[in-house]
Amino acid sequence: MSRKFALAGAVALALTVTPLAAGTASAATQQEAAVTTVYYSTASAPSFRSVINAGAANWNRSVTNVRLVERNSGASLRYTEGNDPRGSYASTNGHGSGTIFIDYTQARQYNPTRIAAHETGHALGLPDHYSGPCSELMSGGGPGPSCTNAVPNAAERSRVNSLWANGLVANQQRAVETIYGF
C-alpha cells in the first residue's frame, strides 16, 4: 500500500472511531494494517471507464477497510467489456482479484454505474440478492431497469468492512468463482 492511501485511511479512521483514539499513533497504526488497496484496470473496458470509476468511488466513500484505486499496470482486478448472452458477470475470488465483464446490451437496458458497482461488489465478496430493494446494490437487476441506485446500503457496507477486516490474509483462502447475471 502506498503511503498516500495509508494516510488517507488513517484520516478516515480518526473521523469514524471514538474521539479518544483520534490522532493518536496507535489509531494510525491499526488503520494502516487494516486498509487494503485493490488496484483495478479499466484498460480493457474503455467504454465504461467513467462508470467503473464512479462505482469504485461509491465504494470508497462507503467502506473503510478496502480502497479501490485505478492503475492499469499490475492490477489484480480487471474490467472488460463486450457482448455475452449471459450478461455481465464477475469471475473473482471475492477478495479483489479477478475479472469483471460488462455486457453492452445490459448496460443499455440498466444503469451502467449500478452494473459496475454491483459487479465490483462481487469482487469485494458480496453475493447476489435479487429479491432485495433498489436501495440494495446486490439486488442487481431484480428491482428492474428503472433502479439507478449505485451505492451500497448500510448492511452491504458493514459486510464488506467485515470481510476486509483482516486485509489480504483471507485472499489466500478463497477460490475463484464466476457469478453470472446482474
Q: Is there binding between residue 156 and Zn ion (CB under 5 A)?
A: no
119 among known catalytic residues: yes
Contact residue for Zn ion among 81, 103, 128, 156 (CB under 5 A):
128
Cβ–Cβ < 8 Å for 5, 70:
no
Binding residues for Zn ion, total number by CB under 5 A: 2
**Residue reference for cell 466513500:** 61
Complex with Zn ion: residue 55 or 140, whichever CB lies closer: 140
Q: What CA–CA distance (Å, rounded) separates 60 from 50? A: 15
Beta-sheet strand order (sheet of 36-44): 66-70, 36-44, 77-82, 98-103, 89-92, 177-180
Active site residue: 32, 70, 81, 119, which one?
A: 119
Cβ–Cβ < 8 Å for 100, 119:
yes
Part in contact with Zn ion (CB under 5 A); list of ranges 6-14, 16-24, 29-37, 120-128: 120-128
Residues that bind Zn ion (CB under 5 A): 128, 140
- Catalytic residue annotation: 119
**Residues making up the binding site:** 113, 118, 122, 128
